[in-house]
Amino acid sequence: MAGPGPFTVACVQNCASDDLDANLRSVEELVRGAAAAGADLICLPEFYCLLERHDGAYYERGHDEAVHPALAHGRELARELGRWLLLGSIPVRDTGGKVRNRALLISSEGELVARYDKIHLFDVAIRDGQQYRESNSVTPGERAVVAPLPWGRLGLSICYDLRFAHLYRELAHAGAEFLAVPAAFTAKTGAAHWHALLRARAIETGCFVFAPGQCGERPWGRRTYGHSLIVDPWGDVLADGGDDVGFVTARIDPARVGEVRAMIPALTHDRRFSVEDG
C-alpha cells in the first residue's frame, strides 16, 4: 500500500512585540499568505503571539489555555482556511506565578490535536552580557510528544530543546518522521549555532525539520535571529527565511524519510554502553 503523498509546509517568521492583538493581526496576514501559496501545514514561531519586556508579565497579563485569545484565533483560522496549524508556542498560565511555554497543534477542522510544554528552559549567560533565566517565569514540561498529521508523525519541541540531541532521538524512535522546532533564538546564539544544530538534528534522526523562528529587534533591545529553516532528512536546507518578516515554503515527500533511513539506518544501530572514568 502506498504511503501518504507529498504536502507543502510553511514556516512563518514574525517579530512579536508585547501587544498581543497587534501580533495576532500581523501573523494572521502571514498565515493567509502561506495558505494562498499552497501550504497544507503552517508552523508559527515560539511566543509568536506575545514577547513581553519583563518575564513576570507573562503571568500577570496571562490567560489559561481554555480562554487564551491566541488559541481561539488559531482554531478559527485553521478551520476557515482548512489548513493544519502549529501554534509554535503561547504562554499559558500555570501555578506559582509561572506559565507554561506551550506548543499547540490544530487540525484543518480547528480541533486541538496535541499540546507540548517546553522541557528545557533557557537559563544562560552569554559572554556579551546577555542573561536569560526562563525558569524564573516558566514551569518546565515533563513529557515528549509525537503527534499525528495526515502525512506522518510530528515530534514537538521548542527553541532551547534544540540543544538536547537525546530528545530528538527519542522522538524519532517513537515514530516521528518530522520534527518541529519553533523558536525565538537570540541573534547572538542563532548566528553561531542555529543552522548547524538544525541540520544535525535532521541528519541524526533521518527526519524533516520545520523550524519557524522570530526575527528582528524590539524597542527594548531584544534581537531574535530569524532564518526559519526547512531541512530534509539528508541535512539539506530546503528553505531559509533570512532576516525579515515573511514565510517560506517547501514541498515535503514523506517517502524521503524512508529512503534516507535505508541508506544510513543509524536509528537501528543504537547500543547501550557504560562510561568509565579513566
List, by residue number, the catalytic residues.
Answer: 46, 118, 159
Please tell me the distance from the alpha carbon of residue 64 to that of residue 237, in angstroms, as a whole number: 37
Query: What is the SS3 assignment for 244?
Result: coil
185-220 in b/e form (b: 16+ CB < 10 A) is bbbebbeeebbebbbbbbbebbbbbbbbbbbbebee
Please answer whether residues 103 and 156 qualify as being in contact, where contact means their C-beta atoms are separated by less than 8 angstroms: yes
DSSP letters for 94-159: -STT-EEEEEEEE-TTS-EEEEEE--S--EEE-TTS-EEEGGGTBPPP---EEEEETTEEEEE--G
